[in-house]
Structure 1
Amino acid sequence: MIKHFILLAIFLVGGTTLTGQKDSDILFTVAGEPVTVEEFTYIYAKTNGDDADFSESSIKEYLDLYQRFKLKVVRAKSMGLDTVAALQQELAGYRRQLADNYLVNRQVTDRLIQELHEHQQQDIEIQHILFQFRGNPRPEDTLRLFKLANSVRQTVTIDNFAEKAQQYSQDKYSKDKGGKIGFVTAPFPKGLHNLEAALYEAPVNTVVGPIRTEAGYHLAAKTASRPARGEIEAAHIMVRKPESGDPASVIGKINKAKLLLDDGTDFGQVAATFSEDDKTKDNDGYIGFFGINRYERAIEDAAFALEADGDYSDVVESKVGYHIIKRISRKGIQPLNDVRALLESKIKADGRFADAEQRMLNKIRTGDNVTENKAAFGRYAATLVDSTFFNFRWTPMAVKGEVSLLKIEDDFNRTLTDFQEYLTKNTRKRVGMGRTMNAYSVANNLYESWIEEQLMEYAESRLEKDYPEFRALMREYREGILLFEATKMEVWDRASEDTLGLQQFFEEHREDYRWGERAEITSYVVSTAGGLDPKSVYEYARTHGPDATQDEFGRASMEVTTRPYELNRMVEFEGLEAKKGSLTKLTNDLRKNQATFHKVERLLPPRNKELREARGYVIADFQDALEKQWVENLRKQYPIKVNKKALAKLIKS
């Protein structure tokens, strides 16, 4: 449990970046093993946080701590702990967990969060022409639709956009409005992230596209941009338009409400009297927070035009009636760190995350250092036969020599044999896909999945090279595991198992473990359910001990416990004084049918503790003593050499 807590602590602060010097100079060595300035600076800055002032006292204090740490790591290696299979597997598990998160978070998630937050700084006014997918389109269907969208694109300008939208668009909402959507903000609805990215990047009044989304292909334009409105918290007074006839009486009613507000009448009071919105009138007209496109444009514009909390608008007309809107508060776009978790959930809820991850893999795949032998795969796939390939008992063909399918640089090579192992492990998927595809198509689909797995594995294998922070974290994990195991074997286990050593240590330090003056306190819990008068018990206990009191009133009618308390703990008992016979007040709990009180029976003089009474403290101190002696012996066994020039450069005067 302690071990996992230590390693979890390392993981939680793992986002710290390297600061200060990145010098490869050696700061000190332990038994010839070097510690660079970069390594020490990283761990010093991370551990000390805002207190990392690089002063002489701070640096030298932490240098001593880190030297002790390194001494224990060297000792662990000399014990062969770095070769223990169980510890190697444990480290590999930590690496997989860290790499899975680190790779995607650094190369995909962090960038998308930053991008989305940047988009949210602006509201953009847009229009589009949609060439809509129907059902589950086949590749030939999407190609036909793309060609249509692309041909129309050649004729579309910002000036004739509305005309072309009315002619071609299949978006029923915006078609008759010339493709106009109005002002929107990020994120766009699920599946439209590509359209969002294109429009936020596009200049105003420039046609872009065709852009593919889950809905189809879009031609689009950004016609205006403004600072994001964010959200406003508001209340309103609303009177409805009559279904027929002259609206004069309604207008008169809302104007009367406005006059009362102008005269200083409370907004909530006016809302309760005049508003016809039954959901809000009795709650001061409160409608909560809203952003753009929640209400009609007139209401939205009036609300966001209010400059200060408490301001209210003139009468605003909507399709359903007339409104007076009050601003309660306004919330702009929040700082990135405050909304990071929310934005992460948003990007992982739509397709932009999967698309970005795919682009990352494609970038690796098309790199100059990547060789993919598609010809060899094609020849292999052509040999596969449906009748045997889609059988659960299919076995891979024998391969002569090493046929490379994927090679990256000189040290990452994946072969046809590796791919066949993948096919064997994914038998259910292979057989299932065979219901709708032939052997060649299934092999090709599985090949693409396999390639992506290999590319991800390659990217993970380079984390130490590409990210100094990851390299530092893995060093901390590795050395943390070794430190834990060595300390457990040489200190913690000995402290708990060496009974003679523990007893001797206790005898040598007996005066360090003493009871101060204590009070022996009896606590009474008296049941009143049977009619026993707790006041009688209270008065009797004033002059008698607990045994006599229980004998007098019956042991079944009360719970009595007596135990010693150090005087500084007597604050737990209100009104109890450190003197014999002191009593608290009698407290009755009618719901539980019981009464309680406490009494000081006697004061106990200071004395030394016995080992059984101080065992936990003694073991902890014994461990400290053993560890101190252990470190002293390690210093003698493994010499430390400090590079004084490198140390001097670290210290800020």
Structure 2
Amino acid sequence: MKLAHLFTLVSILFFSICNAQLKTDEVLFTVANEPVYVSEFLRVYNKNLDLVKDESQRNVDEYLKLFTTYKLKLKEAKTQQLHEKASYKTELESYQKQLAKSFMKDTKVTDALLEEAYQRISYDVNANHILIKLPENANPSDTLAVYNKLVNWRQTALKNGFETVMKQKHDGKNVYGEALGYFSGFKMVYSFENAAFNTPVGEISMPFRTRFGYHIIQVLDKRKSRGERTVAHIMVTDKKGDTLNNSEERIHEIYNKFKQGEAFETLAKQFSDDKNSAVNGGEMAPFTSGQLNAPEFEKVAFELENIGDVSEPLKSAYGWHIVKLIDKKLTPSFEDVKTDLLAKVKRDDRSKLIDDALYNNLKKQYNVTQNTEAIAYFASILNENYFKRSWKLPETFKANATLFTIADTTFTYSSFGNYLLKKQQGRIIKKPLNAFVKEHYNTFLNETLVAYKEEHLEFENEDYAHVLSEYRDGLLLFDLMENTIWNASKTDSVAIKQFYQNHKDNYKTPQQIDAVVASASKQKTLKKVAKLLNKGVAVNTIKSQLNTNGNTNVIFTTAVIDANDALLPKNIPFKEGISKVYAHNDAYVLVQINKVLPQTHQLFEEAKGNVISDYQTFKENNWVNTLKQKYPIHVNQAVLKNVKSIIKNKS
């Protein structure tokens, strides 16, 4: 899918809803005599005020330049008939289906499921269960036999204990008796989750069905969930080129400095290899149990009891860590997890409830009438050949009989008959014929309802129509830019290399230094380091002299780095020798510069990514100029003046 790239490309122009209409829809400008109206410009401009970050794009004249350039490109795309491409039509159809779903959802049902889901993730349930496996297509007699068996086992469990029955009946083949431990919402299939959360503690449920078979469940305990933790950490990994420390030695040095009284946040800024969190004193984004792919880290994080508690060094798959507890919550707020919950609801069996609500609403909206004799008729003409994939419609098939009507459209037996023939070639779960036909009829009716809604939604919902129309244009623009500009690295290799030669001074490596960086919490410690370095004392000897009695007073790092490296203070002069002592990251640093590595021209392969990007910009600017010649633009200045007045008055 091109969707993510497309949204980036046209975010400045898309997803607008009409919120400013003129009484008269005047022409603002023309592109090759094709009009573009004020209403469209204002609609897009007003909506995108909240999206653009570049202040210049809020200027009407600057925004008009962007908009006219967009229209130029769109005109060229249509001239090239990109909208006739099969790939374009397929992409558009796929997006249309996605978009339609968001406009057809039943918010009441969804909101109720979200509230239920939030309650479920707020608690953990500890349970045992017994499962008798049963195929989804089991016949009614087998289903009843399994159900009755579990009713009897439940009675025995009430007398003799659930665990006793669980152990006796478990065979690991058709019957499973298991202690499940604690689990929360979304950890089990929805029907099982319902039984677990709806059964009181200490009680045993009645038999219930999942896709695996029939179960009974004993609920042992319910508790508040472990909730959410916010921690800070200092992470150390082995570094290439650092011959002074391995990660384990370094983390213990840092831990010693913490025990000596240095601030955790300061140490994180100086030494943590997790650069994303280091700038914030090591603080990470909040997480819940099971969210991190580092069980050792998570275990320690949840074991810290009091805000401010700090762990001893621990090892994970990512390196060595020291962890500090910043905050803990039993559960995140509903608003914080609402988006995530919605995604989960749509992925599991709960989504069927949302779908059923949609189907019922569509039946009411379109006044659906159904032929009550249809299911019995199709059950009568279906036979065992269907499950052998050799069934055919009989010669006496009532093809033109009415199956159902949606609004003013009639669907006949023929449509459902062809649907059954098509499904015969796919996966078939054998069931009694009447149940089989009823299931497929309901599926066919629901799919037809959704397709009918999608086909008419553009005429029923103005917001949907705007978004879909803009996506149509945006997809054309994406294909045009991809073919004309973005694939330049494949088609313009000679021109790109020539562009590099012509602009070689734009592609240089940054100036770097080969250095030893000494970090300490006290300025006087680094003054001692400077004296010893000036005397030519080796770094390892200095470490042994200053880090005594189990105290870590100074940490050294050897590296080849540039001026932007977090180890270095800003504006440090790059000249060989020993620097002065700088205050940096709430501590002090001293830098011994062994060698200054000058800027050099990057080889083409080294600079290739930046060269291609710059070349594409250069090529696009030239191309747009040719489009302006090909499709002349004429702006109605009087109308533009009125547009500016309207915008000014609204602001």
TM-score normalized by the length of structure 1: 0.48
Q: Which has the larger radius of gyration?
A: 1
Q: TM-score, normalised by structure 2?
A: 0.48
